[in-house]
Amino acid sequence: MIVSPRQKRTRAAQYAGLACYVVFLGFPILWMLSVALKGPRELVELHPHLIPKHITFANFGEGLHSYSVLHASWNSLKVAAATSLLTTAISIPAAYVLARRRGLISKLGLGWILISQMFPLVLIIIPLFLLLRHLHLTDSLVGLVFVYVVWTLPFVLWMLQSYVRGIPRDLEEAAIVDGAGRLTTLRTVIAPLLLPGIVVTALFAFIQSWNEFFFALVLLQTPSRTTLTLQLARFVGIEGIVRLGPLAAAALLATLPSLLLFVVIQRFLTRGLLSGAVKG
pLDDT digits over 100-130, tens only?
Answer: 777 777 777 777 777 777 777 777 888 888 8
The helix (H) or strand (E) run that includes residue 34 is helix 5-36
Residue closest to 185 by CA, chosen among 172, 170, 198:
172
User: DSSP letters along 144-178, please?
Assistant: HHHHHHHHHHHHHHHHHHHHHHTS-HHHHHHHHHT
94 and 109 Cβ atoms separated by less than 8 Å: yes
84 and 205 Cβ atoms separated by less than 8 Å: yes
Q: What is the largest CA-CA distance in the chain?
A: 74
Residues of the chain falling short of pLDDT 50: 272-280
Model's pTM, two decimal places?
0.79
What are the helix (H) ranges across 50-103?
A: 58-65, 69-100
Report all structural domains of the chain as residue ranges with CATH numbers, in order of start: 1-56 (no CATH), 66-277 (1.10.3720.10)
Provide CB contacts within 8 A for 126, sequence distance 6+.
none
pLDDT of residue 32: 85
